[in-house]
Amino acid sequence: MRNPIGLMLAVVVAAVVIAGVWFWTAAPRADAAPPQTIAARSADSLPPAAAKSAAKDDVETTAAVSQPVAAAPALAPAPAPMQAKSTCANPDALGVSRTVVIDTTGGPGFGFLQYKQFDFLTDKEVVLTFDDGPWPTTPAVLKALADECTKAVFFPIGLHTTYHPEILKQVAAAGHTIGAHTWSHAHLDSKKLTEQQAKDEIEKGFSAVKMALGTAPSPFFRFPALAHTQATLAHLESRNIARFSVDIDSLDFKSSSPDQVIQTVMTKLDKQGKGIILMHDLQKHTAQALPTLLRRLKAGGYKVVQMKAKEPLETLPEYDALMVKDMKVPAVSARPLSSVVQTVSQQ
Ligand SMILES: [Zn+2]
């Protein structure tokens, strides 16, 4: 009697256990709900994307620190500056201490004289900028920068790029950043200019630089005489072009000697501690002052930051076409002069 009951009990227990195991193993399958998981994951991917777009809003991102063999930055897709540093023949060069990439969306402003938006330079950091070239004095500026393995931002005048496109190409080949500084150096706050003419000055300047270089410039702009209007600022903003003012004005255009340029820059810099330095590569005194000035920066513990644009500017096709049309007058004719102009009478 006991044995059959015991056997039945064992069978029941075994059945319960088997059913339990089956239920237990089957249950998670029902809970897995793969489509929900995928949906949840794709929803989860939104925060990183939002974070990414938030990071995009930062106008300044450290892309590379080109000090000698620093620890490899985890996110640094910038082997070029590192290579540039390694090819520097001068072991005591001023160099480039930091390279920043600018997201020009919305037309951010730099240089505290006018635009107090982005205080991205730390103590002792400077940005070298040169306006008004390209000019026959520019190669001397390029040589001084190359001797110190350092980089600058150039704001060429459109008209000058048509005179000396080969010099502007040298600026680009040396790895400097190139923006624009209007077509004819017009002061854009002038009452003589209509809004349209001011816009033309900006856009034709950029298209001229593009024509000289064969590639688009950076969306970096400096107003001649730093003279802007609300309309021109709005235009730059709509075109996602960053505007550059200044922190340290070298006043090189009215300096009577290279020494005076050096004194002006160093005095202001030692007082302010950092900043965007405005110079002119078409000024002879600046070209002459630069080797010593760069040495003084190095001796003073100053460090050069190179500013680059995240994306090149998309020039406007109508202004590119205008430049092509303007430049189409050939300098040399296919026909010999004597076949075109014949002297038929002479006294
Ligand atoms: Zn200028």
pLDDT in tens, 139-176: 999 999 999 999 999 999 999 999 999 999 999 999 99
In a domain, 296, yes or no: yes
In a domain, 96, yes or no: no
In a domain, 11, yes or no: no
Give me the percent of the chain exceeding a pLDDT of 90: 65
> By residue range, what is the domain housing residue 153?
104-326
Q: Which of 90-94, 97-101, 218-222, 336-340 has the lowest mean pLDDT?
A: 336-340
Amino acid 345: pLDDT? 87
Q: What is the pTM assigned to this prediction?
A: 0.72
Amino acid 76: pLDDT? 45
Instruction: Return phi, psi of residue 285, to 5°.
Output: -65, -30
CATH number for the domain spanning 202: value is: 3.20.20.370
Distance in Å, CA 130 to ligand 1 centroid: 9
Distance in Å, CA 262 to ligand 1 centroid: 19
In a domain, 161, yes or no: yes
Amino acid 178: pLDDT? 98
Distance in Å, CA 18 to ligand 1 centroid: 88
Distance in Å, CA 251 to ligand 1 centroid: 11
Q: Using alpha carbons only, how large is the chain's radius of gyration in Å?
A: 32
Residue 272's closest CA among 302, 251, 298? 302
Amino acid 4: pLDDT? 53
Distance in Å, CA 185 to ligand 1 centroid: 6
Amino acid 339: pLDDT? 81
Amino acid 143: pLDDT? 98
Provide the number of structural domains found in the chain: 1
pLDDT in tens, 299-347: 999 999 999 999 999 999 999 999 988 877 555 566 777 888 888 888 8
Amino acid 254: pLDDT? 95
Indicate whether 34 pLDDT > 70: no
In a domain, 145, yes or no: yes
The DSSP-derived string for 202-246 is HHHHHHHHHHHHSS---SEE--GGG---HHHHHHHHHTT-EEE--
Distance in Å, CA 143 to ligand 1 centroid: 21
Distance in Å, CA 328 to ligand 1 centroid: 27
Structure-token pair, residue 19: 């059913």
Task: Please report, to the nearest 10 degrees, the dihedral formed by the alpha carbons of residues 123, 253, 240, 310 taken in order.
Answer: -50
Distance in Å, CA 29 to ligand 1 centroid: 72
Residue 114's closest CA among 296, 265, 236? 236
pLDDT in tens, 234-275: 999 999 999 999 999 999 999 999 999 999 999 999 999 999
Amino acid 172: pLDDT? 98
* Residue type at position 291: P
pLDDT in tens, 274-297: 999 999 999 999 999 999 999 999
Residues involved in catalysis: 131, 280
In a domain, 297, yes or no: yes
pLDDT in tens, 35-94: 333 333 333 333 333 333 333 343 444 433 333 333 444 444 444 444 444 578 999 999
In a domain, 189, yes or no: yes
Distance in Å, CA 60 to ligand 1 centroid: 25
Compute the Cα dihedral for 319, 229, 113, 120 and give only its sign: negative
Indicate whether 26 pLDDT > 50: no
Residue 3 banded pLDDT, cuts 50, 70, 90: low
Distance in Å, CA 131 to ligand 1 centroid: 5
Determine if residue 183 is left, alpha or beta; phi over 0 gives left, psi from -120 to 50 gives alpha, anything else beta.
Answer: alpha
Amino acid 21: pLDDT? 39
In a domain, 144, yes or no: yes
Distance in Å, CA 224 to ligand 1 centroid: 4
